[in-house]
Each structure stands twice: as C-alpha cells, then as structure tokens.
C-alpha cells in the first residue's frame, strides 16, 4: 500500500493524510501494514535528507512519519524498533518549535520505558507530555497521557492515583466522542479492579469495554479484552472459561500478528495449565510465551511469566527451583505490584526461601527456555 503524495514527495499533501492513515491502520489493527506504509513513505520522501536543509513544514512531516511508524511498532510489542524510530523523529523535531509534536513523542517514549520496566522514567515523560498537551489544547493527547499515567502508577501499586488517572482519561475520551479511547480506559479500570481483588467490578468494566471494541470492529482491543477477562476467570477459579477466553485472545492476536499480545495470552494459558496440572501443555505454552515476550523486550511480562514458570516448577516437584525464581522476581526493580503480590503468595505456599539466580533477566529467561521449559 502506498500513497501518491509519498511517491511524488508532496510534503503538504502527505502531511494532510498522515494522521488519517495512522487512525485507519490503528482501527483496522493493521499494524504491520502501517509499518510498511510509513517505511515506504520515508524512503520515497528521502529520509536521509539533512534536517538543516529542510523547511519547518518538511521537517514536521518527516517527524510525523517516524513517530507514527514508532506507534505501530509499539502496538505489536516491537519496542526496540519503536525507540529507533522515535530517535529519528527527534532528529527532525529538533528543527521544529512544536509542543504538540513534542508531547506525542514523549508519550510514545514513555510507553517504551514502561514496557522496559522503567516506571519512574515513564511517569516523568508523561507529566511533561501532559503539560505540553494542555498547553496546546490537545485533548486527545491529554486523554492518552492520563490513560498511560494510570498504567504507570498502577504498576507501582499506587492504585488510588491510577484510578483517578483512568477516570480522567475516560471522561476526556467520552467528551471527545472517542469510543475506542473510552473502551481502552474502561478496560484499564477493569485491570485496576482485578489488581485490587474487586472481581465483579472488573468484569463489569471488561464487558463495557468489549462492547465498545466490538461495536467499532477493533480487533486489537477485543483481543486484549478477551485476554484480561481470561486472567480474571483464572483468578476466580473458572479454569474452563479462562482457557476459552485466553484461547480466543491468542487466535485474535495471531490474526493480526501481534507477538507481544500472543505472549500475554500464552503466559495466561500456561498459568491455567499449571493450575490444572496439565504440565506438558503448561511447558509448551510458557516456552512459546516467554520466547515471544523476550523477543518483544517486555520486561514486566517476562517477570510475570517467570512467576507462572515457578508455579509450573512447583507442580513438577521442583520447589527449590520455584523458590529461586520467586526470589528473582521479588528482587527485581521492575516487578509490578500485582505480580509482586502473586510472587509473595507463592513464596508463602512454598514455605521455603532461596537466593535468586545471579543472572540478568534476559539470561535467566534463556536458561529457562534451554532447560526447564525445553521440550524432551
């Protein structure tokens, strides 16, 4: 897919359609197609042009192309590629005095920091982005920033503050008439309620968000809603429903080739299989899920997957290994509060302690994939 404005290096025409195309790819969950389009446009526009030789308008267009490409990468968990694209966007932004664009790039950088487990850095970037969005009256940017501030503070266990941010995001999206944005905020409120143990409220939020995603044919949102509803069913002990929902989430994530989303569903399916003593299935799910999470660079998901792997090791009759894995998670600075609580509960159930493995996270995951989770 290409656009004549890119082929003819028509900066003004391309500038008029970039946001529309970004929204189109987003709503359709066509993230790989979006990456291909923005990469093609950059190639056609002469992305190696010296920024100093460009007009302000040309620099803005190239900045936007790189930023939108980065957002497509973030959607499917390609965080290193996103950071590379954002670095390029910043090159062109340096020649442009545009607080709105600066706010957008800060928001996207906050997301890559969040998934890398750098929550304080993410929050600092988001607060700067929020001030710029308010300064330019960019209410869509304001809503986006509130939403991700909620996710970042939730990761730190600041649940009351997270709830306030999610509610502000929801109110703003509703004022804008953005049903997908409202669905995302409702979904995050469901995640928050699940983290605090309010399962009935969580289910209600998930149902509301799923209805909005389905009404707007938003596959990415529907898949994520199904995944987290499956996790909720697991928490309440409804293993059959958890497996059904997580399998549906996996199917949808595979449909749009969202590898990080696939990893989330697979780790959840691994947890269901471990809890029901289907150990061969648990091993297969966890091996695939951790490999995909490692590929995407999602630190918080890897730590969650290690907790589930500890459950698997415990069921397998290897309590010492389970205790070591739990110790690693509890000692890791990027472990989110919800996962920390799960690890603490498992540690209490094990009734024994151990020193954490003296490895970096990535090395530990590789060790697990080559050892405990390797197929016979």
Domains in the chain: boundaries: 1-97, 258-376
Consecutive H or E run containing 328: helix 319-331
Distance from first CA to last CA of the chain, Å, rounded? 44
Backbone dihedral region of 238: left (phi > 0), alpha (psi from -120 to 50 degrees) or beta?
A: beta
Q: Are 178 and 209 a contacting pair, CB within 8 Å?
A: no
CA distance 368 to 306: 9
CA distance 236 to 132: 42
Record the tokens describing residue 376, joined without a space. Answer: 């016979």
Angle, in degrees to the nearest 10, between helices 239-255 and 259-275 = 160
pLDDT of residue 262: 97
- In whole angstroms, what separates CA 48 from the centre of its chain? 30
Q: Is the dihedral of CA 351, 357, 358, 360 positive or negative?
A: negative
Residues 6 or more apart from 45 whose CB is under 8 A from it? Answer: 6, 9, 11, 14, 61, 62, 65
CA distance 366 to 290: 9
Look-up of token digits 């459950």: 311
CA distance 166 to 182: 10
Mean pLDDT per 10-residue run, the chain (376 residues)?
47 74 85 92 73 83 93 92 95 87 95 95 98 96 98 97 99 98 98 96 96 94 95 96 98 94 98 97 98 95 98 97 97 95 95 91 98 92
For 258-376, CATH number? 1.25.40
pLDDT of residue 353: 86
Q: Is the pTM of this model over 0.75?
A: yes
Record the tokens describing residue 359, joined without a space. Answer: 């490895």
CA distance 122 to 111: 7
Look-up of token digits 């990415």: 220
CA distance 6 to 26: 20
DSSP state of 359: S
Chain length of the chain: 376
């Amino acid at each position: 897919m290409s656009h004549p404005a890119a082929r003819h290096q028509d900066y003004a025409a391309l500038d008029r359609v970039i946001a529309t195309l970004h929204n189109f790819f987003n709503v359709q969950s066509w993230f790989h197609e979006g990456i291909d389009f923005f990469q093609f446009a950059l190639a056609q526009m002469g992305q190696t042009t010296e920024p100093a030789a460009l007009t302000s308008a040309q620099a803005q267009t190239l900045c936007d192309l790189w930023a939108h490409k980065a957002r497509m990468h973030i959607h499917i968990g390609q965080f290193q590629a996103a950071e590379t694209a954002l670095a390029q966007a910043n090159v062109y932004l340096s020649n442009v005095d545009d607080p709105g664009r600066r706010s957008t790039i800060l928001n996207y950088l906050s997301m890559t920091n969040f998934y890398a487990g750098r929550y304080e850095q993410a929050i600092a970037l988001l607060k700067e982005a929020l001030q710029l969005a308010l300064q330019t009256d960019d209410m869509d940017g304001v809503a986006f920033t509130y939403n991700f501030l909620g996710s970042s503070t939730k990761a730190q266990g600041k649940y009351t503050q997270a709830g306030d941010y999610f509610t502000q995001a929801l109110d703003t999206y509703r004022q804008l008439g953005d049903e997908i944005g409202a669905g995302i905020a409702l979904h995050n409120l469901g995640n928050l309620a699940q983290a605090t143990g309010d399962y009935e409220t969580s289910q209600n939020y998930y149902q509301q968000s799923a209805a909005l995603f389905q009404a707007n044919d938003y596959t990415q949102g529907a898949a994520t809603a199904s995944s987290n509803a499956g996790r909720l069913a697991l928490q309440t002990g409804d293993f059959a429903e958890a497996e059904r929902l997580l399998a549906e989430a996996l199917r949808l994530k595979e449909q749009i080739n969202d590898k990080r989303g696939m990893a989330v569903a697979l780790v959840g399916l691994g947890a269901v299989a471990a809890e029901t003593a289907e150990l061969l299935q648990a091993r297969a799910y966890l091996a695939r899920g951790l490999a995909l999470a490692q590929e995407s660079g999602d630190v918080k998901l890897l730590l969650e997957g290690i907790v589930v792997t500890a459950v698997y090791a415990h069921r397998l009759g290897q309590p010492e290994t389970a205790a070591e894995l739990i110790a690693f998670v509890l000692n890791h600075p990027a472990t989110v509060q919800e996962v920390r609580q799960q690890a603490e509960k498992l540690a209490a159930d094990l009734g024994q302690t151990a020193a954490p493995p003296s490895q970096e996270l990535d090395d530990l995951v590789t060790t697990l994939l080559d050892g405990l989770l390797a197929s016979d």
